[in-house]
Amino acid sequence: MMFSFEFLIRILPDLMRGLIVTIEATFGGFALALVVGLLLALGRRCGVKPLRLFCDGYIALMRCTPLLVQLYFVFYVLPSYGIRFPALATGILCLGLHIGAYIAEVYRAGIEGVPEGQWEAARALGLKSYPLWTRVVLPQALPPMIPPLGNFLIGLFKETPLLAAITVVDVFGAANNVAGLTYRYNEPYTAVAVILLTVSLVAAHFVRKLERRFTSAKR
């Protein structure tokens, strides 16, 4: 079947609507993952043993079970117990909780990368917890975190097609719908490949700029 640019232009609005859903799910899930990861990282450094064990168990559970299984459980099993979320909200929630377990390790590595002497010097100066973290720890821990966090953002963008399993129509789901209705596959899937590649390259470019900015500021 010949590639038709005319057909491609006709289906672009449907693909763009799907792309908006993809971006919403990606950034919503990533924002939640940043918060979840930070809470887990701090919880693992806490002196309360039950909290540390809970955080360790949560990370192990999320990292050892597939995201698709988690999506099915939240969307199809929990409603049986009266817990129900809209499809897109379920996708954002599962993406955030799942990726947050990985981001916790990024936070942990960044925080532990701050030399112990910096902690001791800050405490010797009498710094309380808030200025200790905002003025000493985070300015040194954040720059090494940016590349892996950027990789997780781009990876999360490419995980959103899994949300089709819970009826969320992202850009890939929109292409599937077009292909199923028209039996034309070249145009929708080629367009999706180009769209995903373009957005990923743009995101990678901004991550590199952010990394250079923080690195130069550190110097």
Q: How many domains does the chain have?
A: 1
* Residue 218 reports pLDDT greater than 60: no
Positive or negative: CA dihedral 51, 52, 55, 60: negative
Distance of CA 29 to the CA centre of its chain: 5
Q: By mean pLDDT, which of 3-7, 54-58, 127-131, 193-197 is the weakest?
A: 127-131
Question: What confidence category does residue 70 fall into, taking pLDDT thresholds of 50, 70 and 90?
Answer: very high
For 201, the domain range is 5-218
Indicate if the pLDDT at residue 5 is higher than 90. Answer: no
pLDDT digits (tens, 9 = 90+) for 177-200: 998 888 888 889 999 989 988 988
* pTM of the predicted structure, to 2 decimals: 0.87
Neighbour count for residue 155 (Cβ, 10 Å): 14
Which CATH number covers residue 134? 1.10.3720.10
Whether residue 126 has pLDDT greater than 90: no
pLDDT at 216: 64
Q: Which residues contact 135 (CB under 8 A, 6 or more apart)?
A: 122, 127
C-alpha span between 103 and 123 (Å, rounded): 27
* Buried residues in 171-193 as b, exposed as e (16+ CB within 10 A): bbbbbbbbbeeeebeebbeebbe
H or E stretch including 18?
helix 5-44
For residue 93, count other CB atoms closer than 10 A to its CB. 18
CB atoms within 10 A of CB 164: 18
Question: Residue 40 pLDDT more than 70?
Answer: yes
Asked if 107 and 38 touch (Cβ cutoff 8 Å), the reply is yes
The DSSP symbol for 149 reads H
Q: What one-character-per-residue DSSP string does 95-122 give? A: HHHHHHHHHHHHHHHHHHTS-HHHHHHH
Structure tokens, 93? 């929630």
Torsion of CA 22, 25, 27, 29, to 10 degrees: -150
- Mapped onto helix, strand or coil, the DSSP state of residue 69 is helix
Residue written as tokens 């955080």? 55
At 153, the amino acid letter reads L
**Best CA proximity match to 21, nearest among 198, 134, 172:** 172
Instruction: Please tell me what DSSP assigns to residue 130.
Output: H
